Amino acid sequence: MRESLRNTAVWGYWKDVKRYAEGTKKANSGWFEALTDETGWSWTIPRHNGTTSIGFVMHQNASNTKKGTVMADGKKPTLTEHYLDQLQFVPGAKELVGENGKMIPGSIKSAADYSYSASRYSGDHFRIVGDAANFVDPFFSSGVHIAMTGALSAALTICASIKSEVAEETAQEWHDTKVGIAHTRFLFVVLGAYQKMHLQAYPILSDVNAKNFDEAFKMFRPVIYGLADSSKELTDAKVQEMMDTCRSFFDPYVNEEHVKAVRQRYGTEVIQMESPVLGRQKIKDLVKDDADAERVLNKYDVLRVFSDDVEATHMGRDPLLGYIATVKRGELGLTKVVAEEVRVSDAQAK
């Protein structure tokens, strides 16, 4: 279990709730907002049958404190009372509920202890993918993305093992590392977002696998920590800096208009996915006091690190444990990287 994300979710279903951004291209999108008391966040998601799911997520410590509060009648709140009490902290969701919204009786549910990681993701004649392997948090709904990354990794390593391209033990290690990297990257995105909501007051170093961290951010390490940093020790400072960097991944204020403007002012190369990671300091030096451009370039920097997870064919761009993935229909597998290719890849990363 991950102590830093030991969250509790409580949710219920409603009728006659207004739709967010009705009449626009964003109509029927979910509405998400942080609780104004800074204890968590909420979702308001329209469903296919006309009902709406409204839920709240907060750390178990905050949830237990609220549930333990004695009410005016001298009793502690029921789950439903606790749930309805959270509406006071979400003005956006409350506005969507309006005067006509009605909670469906008996629809309140709760779940906890859902942020976890399996001790390994492979073994003799099996691979683990998706939520069976690891679940970070419902924030950003990364489950399908990570499940597809894990499924492709499983297919690659199974094919490689069957074709004797690698020993089965090596195939297992490749899959364990690849899935661990994908989860580690998203873990940092989620933790960075939580921290921005002033929620992350819990120790997180113990929840991070040092090996996965090193592999997940190998492209970033020389830029962020400096070429002289050869220490493999994972410190609070390194964790914090990487969280600050990864926070840009889901920056909601970066849209196509911002990207177009940056392309015109600074050229196409700075926003190409194939371009090298710039790093925060180099970006600041490049854009000076152009805050919009800085946000765009910070986001693209992080997107480059995630690119081999986001784009299936990119999984074959960078070597992992000395093997490169062959991502081509009918030829899935792993190919040993020659020493020269490794040196070129390392040089590009730096």
Residues 86 and 150 in one domain: no
**CATH assignment at residue 73:** 3.30.9.100
Residue after which a domain boundary falls, among 60, 90, 112: 112
Residues 185 and 324 in one domain: yes
pLDDT at 206 over 80: no
Q: Of 51-65, 189-203, 279-293, where does mean pLDDT reach its minimum?
A: 189-203
Residues 68 and 142 in one domain: no
Q: Distances from the Cα of 190 to the Cαs of 75, 131, 194, in angstroms?
A: 36, 16, 6
- Give the highest mean pLDDT range of 31-40, 157-166, 303-312: 157-166
Closest by CA to 302, choosing from 325, 280, 321, is 280
- The more confidently predicted of residues 350 and 298 is 298
Q: How confident is the model at residue 114 (pLDDT cuts 50, 70, 90)?
A: confident
Given this model, what pLDDT does residue 75 score? 87
Given this model, what pLDDT does residue 27 score? 86
Helix (H) or strand (E) holding 82, with range, is helix 79-85
Mean predicted confidence (pLDDT) in 228-242? 73
pLDDT at 203 over 80: no
Residues 77 and 195 in one domain: no
How many residues in total does the chain contain?
350
Given this model, what pLDDT does residue 306 score? 77
What is the extent of the structural domain holding 55?
3-112
Residue after which a domain boundary falls, among 112, 137, 162: 112
Whether pTM > 0.75 for this model: the answer is yes
Q: What is the pLDDT of residues 54-99, one digit of tens each?
A: 999 998 989 999 998 888 788 899 999 999 999 999 999 999 999 9
Q: How confident is the model at residue 339 (pLDDT cuts 50, 70, 90)?
A: low
Residues 86 and 198 in one domain: no
Q: How confident is the model at residue 159 (pLDDT cuts 50, 70, 90)?
A: very high
By CB atoms closer than 10 A (0-12, 13-18, 19+), residue 330 is: exposed
Residues 207 and 179 in one domain: yes
Residues 202 and 339 in one domain: yes
Residues 59 and 131 in one domain: no
pLDDT at 121 over 80: yes
CB 299 within 8 A of CB 310: no
Residues 181 and 242 in one domain: yes
Residues 189 and 271 in one domain: yes
Q: How confident is the model at residue 228 (pLDDT cuts 50, 70, 90)?
A: low
What per-residue string of b and e applies to 234-258 under the rule 16 or more CB within 10 Å gives b? beeebbbebbbbbbbbbeeebeeeb
Residue after which a domain boundary falls, among 76, 91, 112: 112
Q: Amino acid letter at 16?
A: D
**Bridging pattern class, strands 333-336 and 52-59:** unpaired
Q: Of 12-16, 92-96, 341-345, where does mean pLDDT reach its minimum?
A: 341-345
Q: How confident is the model at residue 133 (pLDDT cuts 50, 70, 90)?
A: very high
Q: How confident is the model at residue 201 (pLDDT cuts 50, 70, 90)?
A: low
Given this model, what pLDDT does residue 273 score? 83
Residues 191 and 306 in one domain: yes
Residues 193 and 323 in one domain: yes
pLDDT at 153 over 60: yes
Given this model, what pLDDT does residue 197 score? 76
Given this model, what pLDDT does residue 227 score? 54
Q: How confident is the model at residue 192 (pLDDT cuts 50, 70, 90)?
A: confident
Count of CB atoms within 10 A of residue 150's CB? 25
Beta-bridged to residue 135, according to DSSP, are 116
Given this model, what pLDDT does residue 294 score? 92
Q: Number of folded domains in the chain?
A: 2
pLDDT at 349 over 70: no
pLDDT at 347 over 60: no
Q: Distances from the Cα of 36 to the Cαs of 10, 88, 114, 309, in angstroms?
A: 17, 8, 24, 34
pLDDT at 128 over 70: yes
